[in-house]
A and B are shown apart, each in its own frame.
Chain A
Amino acid sequence: MNPVNYLYLAALLFTIGAFGVLIRRNAIVVFMCVELMLNAANLTLVAFSRMHGNLDGQIMAFFVMVVAAAEVVVGLAIIVMLYRSRHSASVDDASLMKL
């Protein structure tokens, strides 16, 4: 087996995550799908690191994790606030910008 298969797997996971972002209405699930996409990207970074024999890819993945953690903190805080004010975690309910 060639490690390229990891890339295909990552592409598949990324696609599934994107699909989830587009079809789910629950903000938390949408958020989880985003995390799934980030993880898929991380997997490609790690696989590339191995294929090229270079640790830089792993460093990148590490930074992605840190940024994702920060994103989760702020994002979940926003979701909590949204839930407090609207009693709903649906992304479709937050559509005040429409005409």
Chain B
Amino acid sequence: MSGLLASTTSGAEAFQFWLLGGIAVAGALGTVLLRRAVHSALCLAGTMIILAIFYLANGAYFLGVVQIVVYTGAVMMLFLFVLMLVGVSTADNLKETLRGQRWMAALCALGLGILVTAGIGQAALGSFTGVEEANAVHGGNVPGIAEKLFTEYVVAFEVTGVLLTVAAVGATLLTHRERIEKATSQREQAEARTRSGHVPPLPAPGVYALHNAVDRPGLLPDGSPSELTVNPTLRERGQMREVSADKLASLAALEQRTAEYHGTAGGPANRRAEARRSLEKREAGEAAEPADTTPAGGDADGTAEDTDTGPSDAGPADKRPPGDRTSGDQASGDQASGEEEAK
């Protein structure tokens, strides 16, 4: 870093160049050749940082900093952001699909490289001026740049500002998706499904169980476990897990508290209990009573009820086995009227 019209730089810079230059080339090759886009991006970021160091070494202090801030800081992060959006885990298949593309590409790149190198060799100067003097005119690199930018290049600078604004607006416009219709609620979706006739099948065993596992039995309306809901093989092997009694007890207690909170007759749990009892009487009397009278809408009231039942029985307790259909329907009727009141 000395004098005018030197023909060589300092040895330290040469060392730095050969060391970091190799890394930069490796980074560039990594960008091109690595299969995962994230790795490519990281390699590119490394190369850019090295380039920033080279800028600094060349006396372009302002650009060196800007390179780090804008490129590695903003642009590369934007790349990573989009990569996350698009899917970070996929690895690209590097097998070439276009016939001859790779050879042509290699030929073109190699030819271009040779030609450009030859051009540089032809235009190379034996000596160089160095940028120190130019930096010193205005007392440093940044003031020098500023001086030029706001006098000589001020129009270009302004136009660049406009360009950036346009780019920002354009990107917003491109990625913006406007919702032009009202979002359908869960209930509306359920009703539409019912009307269209595509009624989902009855829930599979275990769905209404306390635990979402095949080796745990579902609960009957009275809270007792039903062995039928568990795979016979597991039953035979004795691998059926107990629904622990204290959990049942805590559940009962929770229902009890809820009933008290809602008032003795008003709570759904109470009503459910009453319905259960009446059902048992009826089943004892007339066994031929069809278990499932309203095939449609089981799922619909199930989801709808989530809205006004207490948190304690929002999940499993509300999800009844098939036998509980009739009472559930009554409950849904009540709930519908309740909703009307709410409106």
Contacts and interface: CB of A to CB of B under 8 A. Distances in A.
B151 to A, nearest CB: 11
Measured as residues with beta carbon below 8 angstroms from the partner, the interface class of chain B is 35 or more
Contacts of A58: 60, 62-63, 141, 145
Given A9-B24, A43-B54, A62 B116 contact: no
B101 interface: yes
A19 B54 contact: no
Contacts of A81: 174-175
B273 interface: no
B74 interface: yes
A80 B44 CA distance: 20
Contacts of A11: 113, 116-117, 120
Measured as residues with beta carbon below 8 angstroms from the partner, the interface class of chain A is 35 or more
Interface string A1-16: 1111111110111111
B60 A36 contact: no
Contacts of A15: 109-110, 112-113, 116
Interface string B103-120: 011101110110011001
A72 B110 CA distance: 27
A4 to B, nearest CB: 5
A42 B112 CA distance: 18
Contacts of A63: 153, 156, 160
A23 interface: yes
B25 A73 contact: no
Interface string B58-93: 111011001100110011001100110110000011
A99 interface: no
Interface in A45-72: 46-47, 49-56, 58-59, 61-63, 65-72
Given A25-B92, A28-B83, A63-B156, A51 B128 contact: yes
A78 interface: yes
Contacts of A8: 117, 120
Contacts of A52: 128-129
B51 A70 contact: no
A8 B25 CA distance: 11
A2 B92 contact: no
Interface of B: 4, 7-9, 13-14, 17, 21, 24-25, 28-29, 31-32, 37, 40-41, 44, 47-48, 51, 54-55, 58-60, 62-63, 66-67, 70-71, 74-75, 78-79, 82-83, 85-86, 92-93, 96-98, 101-102, 104-106, 108-110, 112-113, 116-117, 120, 124-125, 128-131, 133-135, 141, 144-145, 148-149, 152-153, 156, 160, 163-164, 166-168, 170-171, 174-175
Given A2-B7, A16-B25, A81-B174, 20 more contacts: A1-B17, A2-B128, A3-B9, A7-B124, A11-B116, A12-B25, A13-B47, A16-B28, A35-B75, A42-B63, A46-B55, A49-B60, A50-B130, A53-B129, A55-B131, A58-B60, A59-B153, A61-B60, A65-B63, A74-B170
